[in-house]
């Protein structure tokens, strides 16, 4: 217990320093349309380049930043950096991309989140329709009233919403009906990794795609690593995919190169 507490305190102190010294980076992972195989969007994923310890995974520091409240500043920084990068791609003449940004529960509880988002979009001249917010099932349902109000405000700006890690949270699906402003389901990586032959995962993935379609939601699969997984998702009618098969998350410069390559090959 004490060791864990100590580790937290050290990390919290280091995270404060990281915010001040801008030790963070945003990487972008392409999301590819299954019909055209073109990049239609990217997910923004934070990285921490620690001066001594090198790259630290968000899985290690996001939970700590959520617990101590630093996620509010970190999340705002991610949004700002992402919108600045979108503005640069826009100025370079690339076709407008949609960017998905992950949100934590703490950020929603803060209250001022909508104003922050709308200011950052306006300051960078980015249309709300190019931003997608990713939330998990539990975040969406934990404060349903607050969430619904936030979604309504965002919808007025054209912002999209996607359920992250779909299939891993609630056992009851009735919440989907309580969130009429939802746009997309993102099927969790754990199902995609298990896909093979006619197994349970294949049946579940196909059912999730069908359910999304019936609810008029878009559906994306994450963690796609192999051609077999891709073929199966295409067969099911999934709209788009994200995963190492096409590209891992990459830096701003690397994504710019990928976008330029696509323009050349079009």
| 41 lies in the site for ligand C2E, by CB under 6 A | no
Indicate the residue among 42 and 120 with the shorter CB distance to Ca ion.
42
- Nearest one of 212, 263, 215, 258 to 239, comparing CA atoms: 212
Question: What x-and-dash track marks residues 138-177 binding ligand C2E by CB under 6 A?
Answer: --------------------------xx------------
Distance CA 211, CA 217 (A): 9
H helix or E strand, kind and range, residue 124 = helix 113-124
CB 10 within 8 A of CB 16: no
Question: DSSP of 222-248, one letter per residue?
Answer: E---SHHHHHHHHHHT--EEESTTT--
- The single residue among 76, 132, 164, 239 that binds Ca ion, judged by CB under 5 A, is 164
By CB under 6 A, the residues from 187 to 206 that bind ligand C2E are 189
Q: Choose the contact partner of 59 out of ligand C2E, Ca ion, none; CB within 5 to 8 A by kind.
A: ligand C2E
Site for ligand C2E (CB under 6 A): which residue of 29, 31, 72, 162? 29
DSSP string covering 55-122: EE-HHHHHHHHHHHSTHHHHHHHHHHHHHHHHHHHHHTTPPPPEEEEE--HHHHHTSTHHHHHHHHHH
167 binds, among Ca ion, ligand C2E, none (CB under 5 to 8 A by kind): none
62 counts as binding ligand C2E under rule CB under 6 A: yes
Give the nearer residue to Ca ion in terms of CB position, either 14 or 134.
Answer: 134
From residue 86 to residue 125, what is the string marking binding to Ca ion with x (rule CB under 5 A)? ----------------x-----------------------
- Rg of the chain on CA atoms, in Å: 19
Question: Taking Cα atoms as reference points, which of 137, 105, 106, 132 lies closest to residue 117?
Answer: 132
The contact set with Ca ion (CB under 5 A) reads 102, 134, 164-165
The contact set with ligand C2E (CB under 6 A) reads 29, 45-46, 57-59, 62, 75, 78, 102-104, 164-165, 189, 222-225, 243-244, 249
């Amino acid at each position: 217990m004490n060791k864990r507490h100590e580790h937290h305190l050290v990390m919290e102190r280091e995270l404060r320093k990281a915010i001040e010294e801008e030790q963070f980076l945003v990487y972008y992972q392409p999301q590819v349309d299954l019909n055209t195989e073109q990049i239609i969007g990217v997910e923004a994923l934070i990285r921490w380049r620690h001066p001594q310890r090198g790259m630290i995974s968000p899985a290690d520091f996001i939970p700590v930043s959520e617990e101590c409240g630093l996620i509010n500043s970190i999340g705002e920084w991610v949004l700002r950096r992402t919108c600045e990068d979108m503005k640069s791609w826009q100025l370079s003449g690339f076709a407008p991309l949609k960017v998905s940004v992950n949100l934590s529960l703490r950020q929603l509880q803060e209250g001022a989140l909508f104003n922050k988002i709308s200011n950052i979009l306006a300051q960078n001249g980015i249309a709300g329709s190019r931003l997608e917010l990713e939330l998990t099932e539990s975040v969406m349902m934990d404060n349903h009233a607050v969430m619904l109000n936030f979604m309504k405000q965002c919808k007025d700006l054209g912002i999209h919403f996607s359920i992250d890690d779909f299939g891993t949270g609630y056992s009851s699906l009735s919440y989907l009906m309580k969130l009429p402003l939802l746009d997309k389901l993102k099927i969790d990586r754990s199902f995609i990794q298990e896909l093979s032959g006619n197994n349970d995962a294949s049946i579940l993935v196909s059912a999730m795609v069908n359910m999304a379609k019936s609810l008029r939601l878009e559906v994306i699969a994450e963690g796609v690593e192999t051609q077999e997984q891709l073929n199966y998702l295409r067969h099911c009618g999934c709209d788009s995919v994200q995963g190492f098969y096409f590209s891992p998350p990459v830096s701003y410069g690397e994504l710019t190169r990928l976008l330029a390559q696509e323009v050349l090959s079009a």
